Amino acid sequence: MNSTEPVIKVEGLTVRYGSDTVLQDVGFEVQPGEIFVIVGGSGCGKSTLLKHVIGIETPAKGSIWINGTDTSALDDVELRTLRMGIGMLFQSSALFGSMTIGENVALPLTEFTDLPMKDIESITRMKLGMVELAGYDNHYPSELSGGMKKRAGIARAMALDPAMLFLDEPSAGLDPVTSAELDVLIKKLNEGTGTTMIIVTHELETIFNISHRIIMLDRNAKGIIAEGDPRILRRDSDDPRVTDFFNRRVTEKKTKG
């Protein structure tokens, strides 16, 4: 996190769907080893921003650099190679129900490497151990709890030892205790591997527990209205939209009549 060279740099990012502008002129940087969290209310474009950064969707305008490379200048093969250094956990965990947990975690290794099966199985067991699922290789997703599925999804996302890990609403659908346990795991993985993590969430406990730095999006502003340490922003921001969000306050709207 002391490096002066960001691993992600976004400049002038604009996202449109038809005539609807979702994000306008968004810019930020992510430093190596950082837990960088994208926050904001429902419909503000958090997951949309994440999809554009990893190249699932193409912006109307703007530039995205990953490890100093302008992703807009890459062809499909080059972009595929770049994505091999990126792990992704989707909201649903996206595990294949017909495959065991071990097979799910091994999938990136079998698709993108020429490693012998013995090594793939060894790496798979190691990744499952990292997320505290040792011994669950032969279980199916239907046999796991919601929190365990999230852990398995993280193990699969980390199968290729990515330098960056993107997590979209990792705590979605989890009870408070399981969510807190997942927060601890995410911090442990970050500290143990140095993996840069970019996380989308609206869960305040998760934001305060794990983030090094945040950007806050606002639906009406169509962009970033705050950036920094959420603990400081909660206390010192002079923007009521920011302090209301971090203090769970509902802004009262005056009505006529």
Q: How confident is the model at residue 251 (pLDDT cuts 50, 70, 90)?
A: low
Alpha helix (H) ranges present in the chain? Answer: 46-53, 76-83, 101-112, 117-130, 146-157, 176-193, 204-210, 230-236, 240-246
CB 205 within 8 A of CB 5: no
- pLDDT tens-digit series, residues 42-85: 889 999 999 999 888 889 999 999 999 898 888 888 888 888 88
What per-residue confidence (pLDDT) applies to 256? 44
Mean pLDDT computed over 26-38: 97
Structural domains for the chain = 1-85+164-249 (3.40.50.300), 95-161 (no CATH)
CB atoms within 10 A of CB 249: 10
What is the model's pTM? Answer: 0.91
d(CA 162, CA 205) in angstroms, rounded, equals 26
What residues contact 39, with CB distance under 8 A and at least 6 apart? Answer: 46, 200, 201, 202, 207, 214, 215, 216, 217, 230, 245
pLDDT at residue 237 greater than cutoff 60: yes
Q: How confident is the model at residue 1 (pLDDT cuts 50, 70, 90)?
A: very low
